[in-house]
Amino acid sequence: MALRMLEIVGDTKTLARCRNVLDQRRVTDVWQLTGAVHSHNEEGAAAPEDDDIRPPDRGSLRALVQKGDQQGILDALSAVVSSDPKARIVLLPVDATEPEPAVSEAEDFRQRISTPRQVLYSTIASGGRPTMTFYGYAVLATLVASVGLLTDSVAVVIGAMVIAPLLGPLLALAFGATLGDAALIRRAALTATSGIALALVLSLLAGLVFPLNVETREITSRLGVGLDGLLIAIASGAAGALAASRGTPGALVGVMVAVAILPPTVVVGLMLGQGRMVDAWGAIQLLALNIAGLHLAAQAVFVANGIRPGSWWQKRGANQSRTVSALVSGAVVVVFLIVFFTRDFGWSLMG
């Protein structure tokens, strides 16, 4: 459902100012609760414990808000409650309401593609944390992907992608760059880099220790830059950001992201382990191109969905972050595309 319930808890002055904000905005309904929860009974019994009593000068204000209107309202309310250190804003999902507010088809579409920045942050930022679960899945996915690549089994490679955890940190990195959030960028970059490095080390050890057949079709197809890999990376990055922006499950999108990132990483390790530096360099180029294309597409979708900070000074930092990030990713994509087309053009002349 496109409705959410906003609850503001604070003192009566803060609630009055918040009510003024809500009166000037489009809300479906608004109501207020104030006063103590408990009081003395008529028989003169002792009052409840202090932590069971709501102070008489505090209360809560609730409002039903359409999804597409929540970001502007949240930003306005955040500016109000910042002056009350004990105030809090809570955003709750609404499963159903009766009667259900009537909206046009165009308005319903606008509501469904919009998710507040605060909700996205709590969801996406959690995927950028370097947890033991993340590394455990990275190890398992790398082992399964290595087997699939070496046995030329597409089904096994796809199975590895199902458990690969790379969607979270890569989306968090693009989201952090969109908001100019340096802490999120550092954390997501560390998680993504360490996950890819772990996959690289494991596949490198496999290439060093075991006598392997590295001439399978699944491996040779990832020994150089190709438009097919770039298109997959761009599509998966855009799909991941769109799924996150709409609050829809991203499991299948995660498979797409893993297909663009994990197999080239494993191929790099295998080639390095076998001492085939030229082939390893080709796989490194493919990996760099796919990461840049995925990041660029995800960031473009976040920007197109209106994801931006709430305050003007944060917006200035976010503009710089988005520009630098887009220029770096775009430069990588353009350089490798030039190399790709130049190489193909040279080959056609030689042929």
Structural domain ending residue among the three candidates 70, 92, 114 = 114
Number of domains in the chain: 2
What's the CATH code of the domain at 70?
3.30.70.260
What sign results for the dihedral spanned by CA atoms 230, 165, 253, 67?
A: negative
- Whether residue 15 contacts residue 70, with contact meaning beta carbons closer than 8 Å, is answered with no
Give the sign of the dihedral formed by CA 173, CA 178, CA 180, CA 181.
negative
Which of 114, 146, 173 terminates a domain? The answer is: 114
- Asked whether residue 52 falls in the same domain as residue 153, the answer is no
Q: Strands 3-11, 58-66: parallel, antiparallel or unpaired by DSSP?
A: antiparallel
CA distances to 205, 223, 228 from 278, in Å: 18, 9, 21
Residue entry with tokens 């994801």 = 307
pLDDT at 41: 46
Contact by Cβ (8 Å): 263, 222: yes
* Same-domain status, 294 and 334: yes
pTM of this structure? 0.70
Cβ-based burial of 254 (10 A; exposed 0-12, middle 13-18, buried ≥19): buried
Alpha helices in 113-181 (DSSP H): 117-124, 132-150, 154-163, 167-179
User: Contact, 291 vs 193, CB < 8 A?
Assistant: no
- Find tokens 């709501």 and name the residue: 54
> Do 55 and 86 share a domain, yes or no?
yes
Asked if 22 and 30 touch (Cβ cutoff 8 Å), the reply is yes
Cβ contact 221:152 at 8 Å: no
Provide the 3-class DSSP secondary structure of residue 8. strand
123 and 110 share a domain?
no
Backbone angles phi, psi at 38, to 5 degrees: -120, 160
Same-domain pairing of 94 and 191: no
Which residues fall within 8 angstroms of residue 78, CB to CB, at 6 or more apart? 89, 310
Considering only CA atoms, which of 174, 157, 338, 347 is closest in space to residue 264? 157
Tell whether 109 and 142 lie within a shared domain. Answer: no
pLDDT given at position 257: 65
The single-letter code of the amino acid at 280 is: A
Which residue among 114, 137, 157 closes a domain? 114
Same domain, 105 and 125: no
Say if residue 205 is in the same domain as residue 326. Answer: yes
Distance, CA of 312 to CA of 161 (rounded, Å): 40
CA atoms within 13 A on the CB side of 235: 12
Note down the domain range covering 271.
119-350
pLDDT at position 108, please? 54
Same domain, 168 and 300: yes
Same domain, 189 and 138: yes
Q: Specify whether 81 is located in the same domain as 226.
A: no
- Please report, in tens digits, the pLDDT of each residue of the chain (351 residues total): 567 888 888 888 888 888 888 888 888 888 877 654 444 444 544 454 544 455 666 788 888 887 767 777 888 888 888 877 888 888 887 777 777 766 555 455 445 555 667 777 777 777 778 889 889 988 998 988 888 888 888 888 877 877 778 878 888 888 888 888 888 889 999 999 999 999 999 999 888 877 667 678 888 878 877 777 778 778 877 877 777 776 655 555 566 666 778 888 998 998 888 888 888 888 888 888 888 888 888 888 888 877 777 655 566 667 777 788 888 888 888 877 777 667 655 545 445
Residues 109 and 26 in one domain: yes
